[in-house]
A and B are shown apart, each in its own frame.
Chain A
Amino acid sequence: MLEVKNLIVNYGYISALRGIDFEVNKGEIITLIGGNGAGKTTTLMSISNLVPKTDGTIIFEDKDITHLPAHKVVMQGISHVPEGRKIFPALSVRENLITGTFGNKKMTKKDISDNLEKMFVLFPRLKERVNQGGGTLSGGEQQMLAIARGLMMNPDLIMLDEPSLGLAPIIVEEIFELILRIKEEGMTVLLIEQNAAMALQIADRGYVLETGNIIMSGTGKELINDERVRRSYLGD
C-alpha cells in the first residue's frame, strides 16, 4: 500500500534520514520505533511533504506521491495525526472535527454528520465538549480530538505520531485499544512511538530507527523478543 524507498532528508547540515526503506501493507499496523531524534517525525513529515526530501520515492497505492503538495497527499487517503496534536485552539471541537473532512472531497453532508456521531460514540468526552474551543481541552482530550479529526475523512492509511506522548498511563491504554479498533475497521495504521513496549504489542510488524537509519525490522513478536531491542528500547 505504502512504499518508502531510499528516503533521505537533510535539515541544512543535519542529516535526519540517511536512506530508509520500508513498506506498509493493507490492513496492517506498522510501527516505527526509535529514541528521541531518531528521525521518526521527519519520516512522516516527508511522506506528507511538509519537509523537503533530498532523495527518495514514496509510492502509495501504486501512485508516485513523492512530489505531491501536502494537501494533495491527504486527498489520496492518507491522514496524518501530527506530533503534538496540532489541534486548532480557537476552533470548537465540532469545527476541529469538520476540518478533518476537508481531505476527502467525496464525502457528502450525511457522511460527515454520520462520522461526527461515530466519533461521539468512540469519544464520549468530545461530545460533552463539542462547542468548547479546542484549546480549552486537557492534553488527553486534545489527543483524542486529534485522532478523531484524523479519522473523520475515512482514510485508507492513518499515520499517528506519538499519540501516547505525555499522557497518563490509563489514557495511553485507551488510545492503544482504539488503534486496534481502527485496524478492525479495515484501516491501515502507521504508528510512531517511543513507547516501544506498547507499540510492538499491537503491531503486525515494526521497524527500528536509529539516527536516521533503519537498523532492524521484523514482526512485533520478533522485535519484542530481540535482545538488542529489549536492551535499548524496553529497558531490560
Chain B
Amino acid sequence: MDYYLMQLVNGLSQGAIYALMAIGYATIVGVVGMVTFTHGEVIMIGAYAAFYAFSFFAENLFLGIITSFAASWLLGIVIYKVCYERFFDSPRHIPLICTIGFSMLIKNLAQIVFGPNMKAMPQPIDLGFINVLGVRINTIQILIIVIVISLSTILYIVNSKTRWGIQLRAVSQDKKASALMGINVQRTTMIGNCIGCGLGGVAGMLLAIYYQSILPTMGGVLGLKSFISSVLGGLTNIPAAALGGILIGVTENLGTAFLSNSYRDVFAFVFLVLVLIIKPEGISKKVGGRP
C-alpha cells in the first residue's frame, strides 16, 4: 500500500512539473492563437541555462529559476520573430511547420553546443526526507510543488487582476478588436509568448533537478506531453491544462507501479487518445483564439 502511496506522491510532483509546462503551453497557444511544437526545446534550453548557472556561478535555486526563465524568455522572442510575427494572416499550417523546423534546428544546435551526452544536473538543495503519515516525501518534491504553485498563483493574479492581464486576455480573444482598443497587439502577443516560454524553462530546470540529469534531446517527449496536457483544456484553458499535466504525471507513475517502467511514455499517449475519443473538444470549450 505504502508503495502505491509513494508512487502517487511521485506522480503528483512529476505532474506538477508537467502542469507548469502545460500552463506555459496553454498561455502561448492562447495568446498567439496557433499551436507550437517548439515548447520541448524551450523547456530544454531552460534546463541547460540552469545547468550552466549552477556549474559556473552557484548552486542556488533562486538563481536557477531566474536564469532558466530568462533564457527561455529570450528564446521566446526569437521564436516569435521567426515563426509567428509575419504569419498572423497566413494559413495556420505555415507557422505550425515553422515551429517544427525551428525545434529541429534548436535540438541539433543544442547537441553541438552542449554536447550530445547526458550530464549530471547539479543539485541546488540537499536531498532530505520527511515522513508524512508514513509516506516518505523528499525535499525536492516539496520544493517542486511549492515552486509550481507559487508561479501559477503569480500568473493567475497577473492575468485576472491587473490591467496588463486584461490586455493579454483581450489579445487572446480578438486581435483586431484589441488593436482598435489601442493595444499594441504585436508586443502583447510577444510578451505573452515569452511568459509561456519562461514558465516552460523553469519546468525544464525542475525536471532536470528531479531526474538529476540533463540531455539535449530531452525536449521531444516533453513538448508532446505539454501539448497532450493542454488538449484536455482545448489547448488554451490554463487551469484545465494544469489539471491535464497532473493527471498525466499521476497516471504515468501509477502505471509504472502496476505495469512496468518501460511503458512510462505510453500512458501519456493513451491518455491523449482517450481524451480525444471521449471529449474531442477538451473538458472546456475553447473561447476566442485566432480572430
Residue among B166, B180, B183, B185 making CB contact with A86, cutoff 8 Å: B180
Number of interface residues of B (CB under 8 A): 19
Most buried by B among A71, A74, A135, A153: A71
Interface pairs (11), CB distance under 8 Å: A48-B180, A71-B181, A71-B182, A74-B181, A86-B177, A91-B169, A99-B166, A99-B183, A100-B181, A102-B163, A103-B182
B166 touching A89, Cβ below 8 Å: no
A75 touching B177, Cβ below 8 Å: no
A91-B173, A100-B181, A153-B182 provided; 6 other pairs, C-beta below 8 A?
A75-B182, A88-B173, A89-B173, A99-B166, A103-B182, A149-B181
B287 interfacial contact with A, CB 8 Å: yes
Residue among A69, A75, A86 making CB contact with B176, cutoff 8 Å: A86
B positions within 8 Å CB-CB of A: 163, 166-167, 169-170, 173-174, 176-185, 287-288
Where chain B touches its partner, the secondary structure class is helix
Residue among B167, B169, B174, B288 making CB contact with A102, cutoff 8 Å: B167
A211 interfacial contact with B, CB 8 Å: no
**How many residue pairs at the A-B interface have CB separations less than 8 Å?**
69
A99 touching B167, Cβ below 8 Å: yes
Cβ contacts under 8 Å, B287 to chain A: 89-90, 135
A positions within 8 Å CB-CB of B: 48, 50, 69-71, 74-75, 80, 82, 86-91, 95, 98-100, 102-104, 135, 149, 153
Q: CA A71 – CA B181 in complex, angstroms?
A: 7
Cβ contacts under 8 Å, A98 to chain B: 163, 166
Cβ contacts under 8 Å, A71 to chain B: 179, 181-185
Residue among A50, A90, A91, A95 making CB contact with B180, cutoff 8 Å: A50
Cβ contacts under 8 Å, B177 to chain A: 82, 86-88
Q: CA A84 – CA B14 in complex, angstroms?
A: 46
Most buried by A among B166, B181, B183, B288: B181
B176 touching A99, Cβ below 8 Å: no
Closest to B177 in A: A86
A99 touching B288, Cβ below 8 Å: no
Residue among A74, A86, A87 making CB contact with B182, cutoff 8 Å: A74
A80 touching B166, Cβ below 8 Å: no
Cβ contacts under 8 Å, A149 to chain B: 181
Closest to B186 in A: A69
